[in-house]
Amino acid sequence: METKVLIIGSGAAGYSAAIYAARANLEPIVVTGMQPGGQLTITTDVENYPGFALIQGPELMEQMRIHAENVGAKVIDDHIKNVKEYNKSRFKSTGNISDYYSDAIIIAAGAQAKWLGLESEKKFQGYGVSACATCDGAFFRNKVVAVVGGGNTAVEEAIFLTRFAEKVILIHRRDVLRAEKVMQDRLFNNNKIEIIWNHVVEEILGTENPKKVTSMVIKSIITRSLQEIKVDGVFIAIGHAPNTAIFKSLVEIDDQGYIITKPGTTLTSKDGVFAAGDVQDKVYRQAVVAAGTGCMAALDAEKFLESKDS
């Protein structure tokens, strides 16, 4: 399949890029990837996306897909396995069902929160289990929540959640935090936060109707004993992994796996390749930010193609 711009990924960044690229008559193709719609498809209520006072995550992404298709983008449910330069000035992206030849590529493949790998964790995702305090913290006003982790992300999430929660319990598998000293000081000085050291999460418990978290079982790594603690929500904060493995030979990537872009742009180290959303954003990780960088990537790609044609 031939296109001027191939967009890899179908979250807020990918669809935003598709809308702007289509309006610029670039006839973009969007390849959705393994999780069409991105991370918002595994959330429930979204209250912080401008223009939607309250909308379900999957519904918001479906609206974005419809919008992209209505303005002329072609959306294909496929998964890209390999990308390489082709004939020095074009790119060949190999998918499961087709090959895609393009003059430019916008990488918007997103990132995935690292999870504990528990069945009960998966069961209650979006119903009390979250990987984003900024997204979901407000739903736990005056409630008790747990944060799992010991790095900067976990400490930041725990401190942030004290704005809403009555109590925040930080659960860490070691007896010392990995977070920066200044962050630790803020955590230790916050009287809303309790720390449980040397414990791991064994199971998350809840009700079916309504579906919600009610407690969790944790295990001591020293005594192996179990205890159940009452919580209304569980925030997993053990990091994110950008979906960039297949791009490592194409563009420059940092030691955490994020694509490096020129400050203030979506330009990567490779001419004609642009990156938007969570593949290059390790700070904000919000849908509205991803959508903004998707717009930027489309405009950057348009400018690149114009210069190529002139």
DSSP annotation of 281: -
Place of tokens 């069961």: 123
Beta strand 2-8 with 99-107: parallel, antiparallel or unpaired?
Answer: parallel
Angle at Cα 288 formed by Cα 282 and Cα 290, nearest 5°? 45
AA identity, residue 93: S
End-to-end CA separation in angstroms for the chain: 24
Residues classed as catalytic: 132, 135-136
Pairing between β-strand 45-46 and β-strand 55-56 as defined by DSSP bridges: antiparallel
183, 156 Cβ separation under 8 angstroms: yes
Among left, alpha and beta (phi > 0; psi -120 to 50; other), residue 67 is alpha
Cβ–Cβ < 8 Å for 220, 199: yes
